[in-house]
């Protein structure tokens, strides 16, 4: 049984293959109901560095793609977290499929809340929801089952940034995404600067929108955000960043 609510119970999980850095990962996903890994998931795998013996937290694991990727790297242990019960169930199933369930534990809950007391990570992958509610839902990227980043897309990421210092080992690294134009990126970066002394932009990519997608986005974004969605060649596009944050500042 994959889910608790009616929609998830009537959905079929399907097996899809995803190419991440160094590993092809087959995952059971539910495209209609749950989050499906995308280009941003792949970009995280390109830039996250995992050293032998690292403890990795994958916060916002979805169906487990980056947690499984991290478990296939030379990490010692991976703890994955998601607030959607059906994501957690599929992430566990997917971890068994890849034979990494001995080193990957999945926790149901928000951010760091469900993790065992006292654990500190060498690497935190913080691929949590960072798209504002209206475009996230209107574009079909987030189903009603999956929480978005709230009204301006910042709610989950800024909370992650504020809490992360308590869960990073000395020298540890936090990776987090910023969707420029589809969230209030200034607010996210202000929180990032308040919380970390070192921020390095590791990914800076423009994602084209179809004409139909741009029309949807222009109907639901406030003008101050919409002006950051720019023309690149023949298409309008939004700008995706991924940052590596180190040297957390004391609270
Ligand atoms: C952009 S998706 C990424 C999922 C996955 N990393 C991937 O690449 O497929 C964001 C994920 O963050 C999760 N999320 C939303 N709010 C969260 C919270 N408060 N704590 C942890 N995860 C959260 C969502 O359920 C969703 O699975």
Q: Class for domain 6-248, per CATH?
A: alpha beta
Question: Measured from the CA of 44, which atom of ligand 1 is nearest?
Answer: 8
CB 89 within 8 A of CB 11: no
Distance 233 CA to ligand 1 centre (A): 31
Question: Measured from the CA of 159, which atom of ligand 1 is nearest?
Answer: 19
Question: Measured from the CA of 41, which atom of ligand 1 is nearest?
Answer: 8
Q: For ligand 1, is residue 167 a contact (CB within 6 Å)?
A: no
Residues of the chain with pLDDT under 50: 1-9
Nearest to 82 by CA among 55, 111, 102: 111
Q: For ligand 1, is residue 82 a contact (CB within 6 Å)?
A: yes
CB 57 within 8 A of CB 79: yes
For 146, residues 6+ apart whose C-beta sits below 8 A from its C-beta are 34, 35, 84, 87, 129
CB 90 within 8 A of CB 28: yes
pLDDT in the model for residue 12 = 87
For 229, residues 6+ apart whose C-beta sits below 8 A from its C-beta are 181, 182, 209, 214, 217, 218, 221, 236, 237, 238
For 102, residues 6+ apart whose C-beta sits below 8 A from its C-beta are none
Strands (E), 90-146: 104-108, 121-125
Tokens 């475009």: give the residue. Answer: 135
Q: Which of 40, 66, 67, 82 to mutate to test the pocket of ligand 1 (most atoms within 8 A of CB)?
A: 82
pLDDT in the model for residue 22 = 97
pTM of the model: 0.95
Question: Measured from the CA of 87, which atom of ligand 1 is nearest?
Answer: 27
Strands (E), 60-110: 77-82, 104-108
pLDDT in the model for residue 10 = 52
pLDDT in the model for residue 251 = 74
């Amino acid at each position: 049984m994959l889910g608790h609510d009616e929609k998830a119970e009537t959905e079929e999980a399907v097996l899809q293959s995803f190419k991440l850095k160094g590993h092809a990962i087959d995952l059971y996903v539910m495209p209609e109901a749950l989050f499906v890994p995308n280009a941003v998931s792949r970009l995280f795998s390109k830039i996250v560095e995992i050293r032998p013996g690292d403890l990795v937290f994958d916060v916002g694991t979805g169906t487990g793609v980056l947690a499984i990727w991290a478990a296939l790297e030379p990490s010692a242990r991976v703890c994955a977290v998601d607030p959607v019960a059906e994501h957690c169930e599929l992430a566990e199933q997917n971890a068994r499929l890849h034979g990494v369930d001995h080193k990957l534990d999945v926790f149901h809950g928000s951010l760091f809340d469900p993790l065992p007391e006292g654990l500190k990570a060498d690497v935190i992958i913080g691929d949590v929801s960072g798209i504002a509610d209206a475009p996230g839902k209107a574009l079909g990227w987030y189903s009603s089952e999956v929480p978005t980043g709230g009204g301006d897309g910042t709610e989950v990421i800024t909370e992650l940034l504020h809490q992360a210092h308590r869960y990073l080992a000395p020298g540890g690294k936090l990776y987090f995404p910023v969707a420029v134009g589809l969230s209030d990126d200034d607010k996210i970066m202000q929180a990032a600067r308040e919380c970390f002394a070192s921020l390095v932009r590791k990914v800076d990519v423009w994602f084209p929108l179809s004409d139909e997608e741009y029309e949807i986005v222009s109907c639901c974004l406030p003008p101050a955000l919409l002006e950051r969605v720019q023309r690149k060649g023949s298409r309008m596009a939004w700008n995706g960043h991924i940052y590596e944050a180190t040297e957390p500042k004391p609270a």
